[in-house]
């Protein structure tokens, strides 16, 4: 088994296939219109702005620079018109109706609050973006981040959605101070988690949840949110530029549509002292939020401003396969780098007994107490609805496990904690990095792991969650 990126040369091609020329198209975009495109996973297009001005979710594109997009659904918007050249095949169309004016007005309203905050030495707005799945929350967060960067601000961007990573592997929840431009070719860009970088870096404060939905284990999700809020608030108060800009918080769609969602939204609102909520793409959610937050006050006595925004017609649903493939691409990039930066990960073989691995429990478990059923002359277990037979026993958040074959191809988070720390301390610790389980050898009781750097991990607790899912194609 060979691992790409570890020095093995690629096998020489047995024959040379004819090189097919990729189709080239030039699009003329009118002012206030948007060119929307979808590039399949494994495919790519090159885009060049020939003239005019254009942006991707708020980040301005340079004229005559070649941008490459792989496996992405996105759009290029122009306020004043532009000509673009596209090389390669993708699904595409141009739209004239967009909610961009609403979005830019929201940005200017936030700017006003930031100016006032800077003058009074207070914190800038703490903005929460909520809305159903695929309503365009992350795209709006990107746009508001990009516009604030263009004004010379430094926003703290918080990701509370573990399904997608923000400058980190999916499964993590992060807070990232942004001081430099978003890399439009790579979504949010990448963070040099495993190497030094010549360009200004964005280093996220990273915590690990390891499950796809907050509702999978609210007992784990909520304290991690509390920890993330504490860490980001203290980072914010230490830096006047970040403090005046404030926070922009992305949320998972599921908390805007599930029954238990409001409890989670309230938790995020109170932990981050949110004072502005942007509700995107749902009248009903907006009116529910109005009702529930009308009398609410933050810890500093502020009221909450609620703003309703339209969903862009460009938002597209992403199926499980697409999500799996983008997650796998994010994992690959973490270990091996991307088209611009090649990393050199290491493998290490470690004995079962040298590792402390905690598996995240999903949900709350009810342990039933045995009851005697005289008619059956046997002992049966009461199910949870029977009175008197149930004892709700709380187990730890994590279950200590030995390595086993089902761990193969999974990601383990290496925590900034010691092996003697309590489970609560491990939960509250930030993430030091991630390793990938390349091989599990049951006979020799050894595990081969891939890691970005040859750091010792045996003195750290590792967490094993179900998200991101196993990345089978990482080892070729």
Binding residue per annotation — 120? Answer: no
* Stated length of the chain: 476
Q: Which 250-269 residues touch ligand ATP, going by CB under 6 A?
A: 252-253
Binding residue per annotation — 85? Answer: no
Per-residue contact track with ligand ATP, 19 to 38, x per CB under 6 A?
Answer: ---------------x-x--
307: contact with ligand ATP by CB under 6 A: no
- Which lies closer to ligand ATP via its Cβ, residue 100 or residue 407? 100
| 444 secondary structure, DSSP code | T
Q: How far apart are CA 359 and CA 210, in angstroms?
A: 9
List the one residue from 315, 331, 357, 437 that touches ligand ATP (CB under 6 A): 315
- Which lies closer to ligand ATP via its Cβ, residue 130 or residue 355? 130
Q: How far apart are CA 398 and CA 152, in angstroms?
A: 43
List the one residue from 33, 49, 61, 75 that touches ligand ATP (CB under 6 A): 75
- Which lies closer to ligand ATP via its Cβ, residue 313 or residue 405? 313
Name the region of 389 (left: φ>0; alpha: ψ -120 to 50; beta: rest): alpha
Q: Which residue is nearest to ligand ATP (CB)?
A: 314
| 342 secondary structure, DSSP code | B
Contacts of 210 (CB under 8 A, 6+ apart): 162, 171, 360, 413, 463, 464, 465, 466, 467
Binding residue per annotation — 136? Answer: yes
| 107 secondary structure, DSSP code | H
In the chain, the N- to C-terminal Cα span, in Å, equals 7
CB of 317 to ligand ATP, least distance (A): 8
List the one residue from 32, 94, 102, 134 that touches ligand ATP (CB under 6 A): 134
137: contact with ligand ATP by CB under 6 A: yes
Strands (E), 178-292: 205-208, 247-250, 276-280
41: contact with ligand ATP by CB under 6 A: no
Binding residue per annotation — 137? Answer: yes
Q: Facing residues of 311 across strands?
A: none
Total interface residues for ligand ATP by CB under 6 A:
21
Binding residue per annotation — 34? Answer: yes
- Which lies closer to ligand ATP via its Cβ, residue 143 or residue 360? 143
CB distance 310 to 281 below 8 Å? yes
List the one residue from 3, 33, 45, 74 that touches ligand ATP (CB under 6 A): 74
Select from 257-265, 308-316, 444-452, 461-469 the region that touches ligand ATP (CB under 6 A).
308-316
CA quadruple 151, 153, 154, 156: dihedral sign:
negative
Chain-centre distance of CA 325, in angstroms? 14
CB of 187 to ligand ATP, least distance (A): 8
Torsion, Cα of 282, 286, 292, 297 (10° steps)? 130
Binding site for ligand ATP (CB under 6 A): 34, 36, 73-75, 131, 133-139, 161, 252-253, 312, 314-316, 318
Which residue positions form the known binding site? 34, 73, 134-139
Residues marked as binding for ATP? 34, 73, 134-139
């Amino acid at each position: 088994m060979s691992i790409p990126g570890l020095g093995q040369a690629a096998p020489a091609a047995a024959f040379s296939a004819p090189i097919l020329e990729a189709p080239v198209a030039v699009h003329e975009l009118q002012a206030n219109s948007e060119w929307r495109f979808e590039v399949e996973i494994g495919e790519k297009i090159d885009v060049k702005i020939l003239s005019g001005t254009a942006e991707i979710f708020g980040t301005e594109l340079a004229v005559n620079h070649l941008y490459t997009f792989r496996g992405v659904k996105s759009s290029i918007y122009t306020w004043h018109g532009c000509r673009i050249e596209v090389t390669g095949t993708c699904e595409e169309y141009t739209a004239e109706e967009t909610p961009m004016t609403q979005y830019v007005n929201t940005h200017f309203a936030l700017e006003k609050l930031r100016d006032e905050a800077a003058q009074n030495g207070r914190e800038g707005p703490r903005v929460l973006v909520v809305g159903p799945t695929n309503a365009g929350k992350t795209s709006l967060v990107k746009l508001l981040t990009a516009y604030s960067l263009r004004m010379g601000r430094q926003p703290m961007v918080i990701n509370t959605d573990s399904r997608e990573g923000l400058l980190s592997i999916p499964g993590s929840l992060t807070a990232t101070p942004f001081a430099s431009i978003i890399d439009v070719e790579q979504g949010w860009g990448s963070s040099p988690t495993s190497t030094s970088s010549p360009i200004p870096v964005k280093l996220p404060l990273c915590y690990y949840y390891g499950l796809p939905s907050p509702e999978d284990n609210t007992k784990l999700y909520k304290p991690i949110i509390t920890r993330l809020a504490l860490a980001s608030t203290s980072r914010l108060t230490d830096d006047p530029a970040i403090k005046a800009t404030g926070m922009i918080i992305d949320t998972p769609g599921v908390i805007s549509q599930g029954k238990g969602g409001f409890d989670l939204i309230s938790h995020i609102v109170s932990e981050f002292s949110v004072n502005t909520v942007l509700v995107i793409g749902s009248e009903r959610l907006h009116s529910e939020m109005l009702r529930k937050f009308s009398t609410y006050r933050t810890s500093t006595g502020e009221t909450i401003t609620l703003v309703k925004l339209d969903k862009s017609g460009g938002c597209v649903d992403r199926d499980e396969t697409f999500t799996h493939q983008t997650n796998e691409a994010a994992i690959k990039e973490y270990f091996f780098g991307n088209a611009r930066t090649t990393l050199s990960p290491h493998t290490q073989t470690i004995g079962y007994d040298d590792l402390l691995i905690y598996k995240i429990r999903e949900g709350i478990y009810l342990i039933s107490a045995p009851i005697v059923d005289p008619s059956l002359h046997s002992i049966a277990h009461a199910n949870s609805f029977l009175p008197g037979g149930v004892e709700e026993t709380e187990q730890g958040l994590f279950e200590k496990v030995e390595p086993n074959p089902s761990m193969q191809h999974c990601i383990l988070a290496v925590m900034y904690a010691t092996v003697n720390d309590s489970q609560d301390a491990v939960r509250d610790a930030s993430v030091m990095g991630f390793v990938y389980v390349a091989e599990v050898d049951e006979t020799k009781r050894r595990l081969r792991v891939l890691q970005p750097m040859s750091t010792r991990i045996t003195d750290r607790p590792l967490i094993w969650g179900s998200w991101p899912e196993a990345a089978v194609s990482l080892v070729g």
